[in-house]
Amino acid sequence: MFYIKNLLIIILLLPLAGMVFLSFIPAYNRTFLKSIALQFTCQIFLLSLFLWFFFDKSLGTFQYVNKNLWISSLNLNFTTGIDGISLFFIILTTLLVPLCLLVSWKSIEKNLKEFLLAFLLMEFFLIGVFCILDLLLFYIFFESVLIPMFLIIGVWGSRERKIRAAFFFFLYTLLGSVLMLLSVLYIYYRVGTTDYETLLTFSFTTFEQKLLWLAFFASFATKIPMVPVHLWLPEAHVEAPTSGSVILAGILLKLGTYGFIRFSFPLFSSACFYFTPIVYAISVIGIVYTSLTAIRQSDFKRIIAYTSVAHMNLVMVGLFSFNIIGIEGAILQSLSHGFVASALFLIIGVVYERHHTRIVKYYGGLVHVMPLYVFVFLFFTMSNIGLPGTGSFVGEFLILAGSYKSNTCITFISATGMILGGCYSLWLFNRISYGNLKTKYFQKYSDINKREFFIFLPLLLSTLVLGVYPEIFLQPIHMSVNLLIELMYF
C-alpha cells in the first residue's frame, strides 16, 4: 500500500536516480551507458502503467496525492497528484522517452553520456509538469523543459543551422512565458499561496481574469503553437535529431493544451468564455493556413511539422467548445497525435539515417525495395488523415461533434482541415512510396531492421487500440472532465 500511495513520487524521481547512476559510468563505456539509460526509462514506463491499473475511474478528483513542505514561511508546498486528464500524458511521456533512446542507439556519436543525461532530465521535468499541483512549481517545471530541449537541438542537431534553430525555439517559448511569470507572482500576492486546490476556491474579478488569461494565453499559445507564434516549430523540427523531433511533437506540443485545461479553464472561466471567438478565429486560420503550407513544402520533416500545427489547432477548437464531448475529443486527439506524429518523425529518421537527406524529390518507388517500411508509413499516413479504426478518427469525430454544439460555422471550417490533411498526407506518401526508384541518387536500400520494427510496434498498437476501443481511455478521463465542466459553469 505504501508503494501504491507513493508510486507517483517514485516515477517522478527515478529519472534523477538514473542521472546519478549514469554520472558514475565512464563516457567511453558507451554500450553500458545506453543499456542503463534504457533500463531506467523502461522501468519508469512500466511503473506508469501501474498508475493506470490502480487508478479509480469513478473519481474526478486527484489521486496519488503527496504533499511536502517546500518553503513553509512563504506557504509554498511541493504537491503532486494526477487525475484522469494528466494520467495519459504521463504514460505518453514515459513511453516515448525509451523509444527516443532506441532511435539514437547508433546515430549519436559525440557526447553520448551528456545526451542520455539530457533526455533523463527532460523526462523528469515533463513528468513534473503533468503531476505538480502548485502554480509556481508548475511554471518552474514548464520552463525548465526548455533547457534540455535547447541542448538536444543545438548540440545534437543534424545540420549547420541547428544553433539558430535552438535559439529560435528558446527565445520564442521563453518570451511567451515572461507574462505568465508576472501573473503567477500577482496570483501569489493576491491569494497568499500558489497551491492549486486552494486557487480553485478563490474567485478573481472579471477584469483580473481577463488580464491573467491573456498572460497565460501568451505562454500556452506559443507552446501549442498557434498562428502567428508557430514559426519556431518547423525550424526546430528540421534541425533537431530524430529523437528530439519525436519528443517535441509527441510531448512538448501538449504542454500548452494541458496548461489551458489545468489552469486557464478552472481559474479564469469567465475570461475563457469571453475570448472564445478570438481563439476560434486563430485556430481555424491555423488549421487552414498550415495545411496549405504543408502541401507546398519540399522537406520531409517540414511537412510533418506543419501538419502538427494544424492538428494541435484542431485540438484547441475541441477544448474551447466547453462541453464534455469536445474536451474529451481534444484530449484523445492530443494522445493520438502523440503516437502518430512521433511515428511519422521516426519514419523520416529511418530514411535519413540511411541516405542523409530529407528532400522529398530524392525519394521514390520505395515500395519495391522497402515493403515493410512502406506498410508502416501507410498505416500512420492513414492515421494522420483520421481513417476509421485509428485514434485520430475518434479524436477528430468527438472534437467536431463537440464544436458543432457550440459553433456550426467553426466546425465546418475545421472539417476542411481534414480534407486538406488527406491532400498533403496522401501526396507525400505517393511521392515517397510509388513510381520509379531514383537510382541516380541512391544505389543501396535496406528495409527497417528488428530494432526499428520494435520501436514502431508500441506506437502502432497504441494507435489501433485507441481507434478500436477508445472506452478504456475515456473511462478514466470522463469524471475529471465532468469536474472541470462543473468548475467552469458553476
- Tens digits of per-residue pLDDT, 201-245? 998 999 999 999 999 999 999 888 888 888 888 888 888 888 989
**Residue with the three cell numbers 502502432:** 460
In the chain, where the domains are located: 268-490
d(CA 69, CA 77): 5
- Tens digits of per-residue pLDDT, 385-433? 989 999 999 999 999 999 999 889 999 999 988 888 888 899 999 989 9
pLDDT at residue 455 is higher than 80? yes
pLDDT at residue 118 is higher than 70? yes
* Phi, psi torsion values for 58, nearest 5 degrees: -85, -5
Quote the DSSP letter at residue 36: H
- Tens digits of per-residue pLDDT, 296-348? 888 888 999 999 999 999 999 999 999 999 999 999 999 999 999 999 999 99
What is the amino acid identity at position 71? I
DSSP secondary structure of 390-424: SHHHHHHHHHHHHHHHH-HHHHHHHHHHHHHHHHH
Contact 129, 93 (CB under 8 A): no
Residue 207: predicted pLDDT: 93
**Residue with the three cell numbers 527497417:** 448
More confident residue, 28 or 124: 124
- Tens digits of per-residue pLDDT, 24-62? 988 888 889 999 999 999 999 999 999 999 998 888 889
Diameter over CA atoms, the chain = 71
Residue 265: predicted pLDDT: 94
Among 82-86, 122-126, 175-179, the range scoring the smallest mean pLDDT is 175-179
pLDDT at residue 1 is higher than 60? no
Residue 132: predicted pLDDT: 93
